[in-house]
Structure 1
C-alpha cells in the first residue's frame, strides 16, 4: 500500500546521498550549561516509540473494510497502484534531498544499535474476507474513508513527539524534525511537475479531498499549523468495532 506509506511518515522515510552537490545539514550537537556534550540518546528506540504510536491495526481494518466493500475506494486503490502512480512515487523517492534524509535515518538507526526493520510495523496485511457482516453497510465512499482515517491517525501526537519542545528534548529527534521541515521545497517542487499535477487531478476525480490531505501532510512535517481534524471531531470509530 504505497499510498498509506507515502502519506504518513514519508515516512518510512526517504534516502541516499546526492551524487552532485549534496546539501548536507549539519548535525545537532547538544551542550549542557557547563559546556560539556550531552550524551546522545538512543535514536532507534526513540524512533520506534514514535512509529508505535501509529494505530496500524485500526488503519489496517479500516482499509480492509473499504477495500472489500466500497467500489469508489477500490477505484482509488487501482489508481494508486497504477504505473503512472508508481513512477511518480519513484520520482519522489529519487529526489536528492529525500534520498539524503533516508540514508541519514538508516545510518542513525544502525549507529544506535537498531534495524531499519522497525518500519515493517507500518506495513498493512489485508485479508480477503469481511470479519464482520455489517462492514458492507458502513462504508461511505472515498470521502468516508478519508474522514475516518483523519480520526484514527494521531497527527498531533506524532508531531508533538518529533517537534522540539519542553517535553521533546532529544537531539536526534530534533535533527530528524529539522530535516523533515527542510523537505517543504521538495514537496512543492514535485507537486508542480506534470506527473504531480496529473496525480492530483486523478485523486480529485476519484473523490479525494486533496486540500485536506495536503493540510494533514503539511501539518505532520511542520510546514503548516493547519489540519482538518477538528472538522471530524464528532466521529466515533469505536462504535464500529475497530
Structure 2
C-alpha cells in the first residue's frame, strides 16, 4: 500500500491502466428529456478530471520532497514502499478481478467520452534532489510530522463530496463510479488479511506509521465508512 499520497495514490493504484485485455465498448446511452428531445450526455472524462484536479499535487510534491531529502524516518518509509515485498503486494491488489473490472469500466467510459488514461498523469510526482528552501532540514518531524502536514493539505471531504451522489453531485457516471468503488470493500479487507497484507501492515507499524489513521482515511474516502473523518490535532505542531 503506497503511503506517500495515501488516498490519491490508492485511487491511482485502483485505476492505473492500460488493462491487459481490450475494452469491449458498451453502446452510448442518451437520456430522454421531458419534451422528447435528447438531453446532452454528461462527459465522464471532464467530470473525472474535475475531481482529480482538486488534489493539490504541487503541495504534496513539495511536502514529499521536503521529508524525503531531510528526514531519516521518512527515507526508511520510502525504501519500504519501493521494496520487492511492497511491489508484490501492489501487484496483488491490481490483479484482483474486481479491480481489473473497475479498470476496464473506467477505460470504456473514458474512451466513450473522448478522454484517455492520460488524465491520471496529473497525479505523478516529480521530486528534485536539492532542497528548495535551506530551512527545510530544520522543520521535518518524522513520519508523524509528515502525516500531520499531509492531512492538512489533502481535501478528503471535498473529494468524497465530488464522487458521492448528492443534491449537488447528480452525474450518473460519477455515481456509478462511486458505487463501484464502494463495492470494493470486500476486496480491500480480503487483501489486508493475506500474509503479504499483514506483513506490509506490520512493517508500516514498525516504521511508526499511524496505520489505524490511514485505514480510517481510506475507508472514509471510498465510502466504506460513513463516520465523519477527523483530522489530526495541530495544536502542538510547530509550523514554519
What's the TM-score bracket when you normalise by the shorter of the two chains? 0.7 to 0.9
TM-score, with structure 2 as normaliser: 0.87
1:21 matched residue in structure 2: none
Using a 3 Å threshold, how does the CA distance of structure 1 residues 66 and 172 change in structure 2: closer, same or farther? same
Displacement after TM superposition at 1:11 (Å): 1.5
Paired with 2:62 and 2:70, the residues of 1 have a C-alpha distance of 12
Using a 3 Å threshold, how does the CA distance of structure 1 residues 32 and 218 change in structure 2: closer, same or farther? farther
Q: Is the 8 A contact 2:151 2:232 kept in 1?
A: no
Q: Is the 8 A contact 1:8 1:217 kept in 2?
A: no
2:8 matched residue in structure 1: 8
Q: Which runs of 5+ in 1 are unaligned?
A: 19-26
How far does the alpha carbon of each residue in 1:123-159 deviate from its partner, in whole angstroms, 9 at most, with x for none? Answer: 0000001011110111000011011111111000000
Q: Is the 8 A contact 2:31 2:39 kept in 1?
A: yes
Residue 53 of structure 1 aligns to a residue whose secondary structure is: coil
CA RMSD of aligned residues (A): 2.7
2:55 matched residue in structure 1: 54
1:22 matched residue in structure 2: none
Q: Which runs of 5+ in 2 are unaligned?
A: 22-27
Q: Is the 8 A contact 1:162 1:174 kept in 2?
A: yes
Using a 3 Å threshold, how does the CA distance of structure 1 residues 33 and 192 change in structure 2: closer, same or farther? farther
TM-score, with structure 1 as normaliser: 0.86
Q: What is the aligned residue count?
A: 231
Counterpart mapping for 1:77-92 below 5 A: 77-92=78-93
Q: Is the 8 A contact 1:93 1:99 kept in 2?
A: yes
Q: Is the 8 A contact 1:216 1:227 kept in 2?
A: no
Q: Is the 8 A contact 1:151 1:232 kept in 2?
A: no
How far does the alpha carbon of each residue in 1:108-135 deviate from its partner, in whole angstroms, 9 at most, with x for none? Answer: 1111001210000000000001011110
Paired with 1:50 and 1:179, the residues of 2 have a C-alpha distance of 16
